């Protein structure tokens, strides 16, 4: 029997996907804030973020979690949930870096060519 979409969203897989998407949105919002603050904002960074984070990381692992849920494969569900949780944790670290960049006293020697908030590249 095919379960409803609401059942899926409330499952472990659905919660992991929601957490990863929320972390990605927050990372995007705080990244834009940090780039505007540092004067490094570039509009093409938005496309790079979407391509790298959502299409390159969240979507493939979300598909793994979705297929695992609807096939009932516990290994796929666990792998998808673990990967999505790891992505969310990594992304929360990025958000922390956007909110609290290192203080001047914490930076030993900064090369003039190093940007504080670099534009994502492929």
Please give the radius of gyration of the chain, using alpha carbons only, rounded to the nearest integer.
18
pTM (two decimals) = 0.76
HEC string of 37-73 equals HHCCCCCHHHHHHHHHHHHHHHHHHHHHHHHHHHHCC
Secondary structure letter of residue 106 according to DSSP = G
Residue 100: per-residue pLDDT:
83
Domain layout of the chain by residue ranges: 9-98
Q: What is the pLDDT of residues 26-74, one digit of tens each?
A: 999 998 998 898 888 999 888 999 999 999 999 999 999 999 999 999 9
Q: Give the CA diameter of the chain.
A: 61
User: Which pLDDT score, from 0 to 100, does residue 1 have?
Assistant: 45
Token pair belonging to 116? 């504080």
Distance CA(116)–CA(118), nearest Å, equals 6
Q: Specify the higher pLDDT residue, 117 or 86.
A: 86
Tell me what pLDDT residue 5 has: 85
Residues 62-112 pLDDT 10s: 999 999 999 999 999 999 989 998 998 899 888 888 888 766 666 565 555
């Amino acid at each position: 029997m095919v379960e409803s979409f609401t059942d899926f969203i409330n499952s472990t897989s659905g919660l992991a996907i929601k957490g990863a998407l929320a972390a990605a949105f927050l990372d995007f919002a705080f990244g834009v804030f940090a780039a505007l603050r540092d004067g490094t904002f570039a509009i093409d960074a938005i496309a790079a973020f979407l391509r790298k984070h959502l299409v390159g990381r969240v979507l493939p692992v979300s598909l793994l979690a979705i297929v695992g849920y609807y096939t009932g494969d516990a290994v796929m569900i666990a792998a998808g949930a673990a990967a999505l949780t790891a992505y969310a944790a990594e992304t929360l670290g990025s958000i922390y870096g956007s909110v609290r960049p290192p203080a001047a006293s914490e930076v030993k020697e900064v090369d003039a060519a190093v940007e504080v908030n670099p534009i994502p590249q492929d």
